[in-house]
Structure 1
């Protein structure tokens, strides 16, 4: 989506990625000007979050209706209990394919961290949402599903 916005505006997009220790840093530049930067243990998550922030800076009034769904992050914990099951039920009700979960893991064997991305295909396109890191796969999947449910609600899919 960020690429499309820059392309429509005739601007050159560049995402620079660096690594500091175990932290990956993604910085977005448009026409050589710094826009936003994010970091994560996961390269792709850093890149996605930097792109999200940049998109909000460059096109704050443009609705996001396909591709990656953007949501506002609220202060404090807000995770829907049983979100994975609720997302599956929603997909069944709407006759969409079942959600697909992809997990990334990091950290030493005695202290693994998991981050999941959930992807769903709707009538309007395929949407993906990256969740935050958790110590258990089940919790990471629920986090991603919770964010997806919130985003679907925000964009009136529920």
Structure 2
């Protein structure tokens, strides 16, 4: 979830600002007048990239969390690698990785689709671009928090 929130700020702001600027400078209208679909040229590549990269980044963050966890356990508690490995194996459930992957796909959708939609619908010049960028980041962040709660309830059955 933390990875997705960071990406919502970074990617969400960029997508909304870029597409919003293209909308107010009529570049999207120019694509339409040439008979090109702005959705397939501007939206689809961004969404596909998000669906590929966000889960990969999430798995990398999971791996780094384990490595840093070992380093902290060794440094502060004096745990040996064997003790850490035993504890990790004892508490590890393979389904946790699948839950993480499923959530990351949901978060990738929120990080890419919401800012792209808001950017596509930008109005009122430069002021509208700024407003759209802020709205996109906040909306994507709230959607990530809601999706996290919903997917946790659905996947883990938390009451």
Question: Which category describes the TM-score, using the shorter chain as reference length?
Answer: under 0.3
TM-score (norm 1): 0.26
TM-score (norm 2): 0.26
Structure 1 or 2, whichever has the larger Rg, is 2
Higher strand share: 1
Higher helix share: 2
Identify which of structures 1 and 2 has the higher relative contact order when contacts are C-alpha pairs closer than 8 Å and 6+ apart: 2
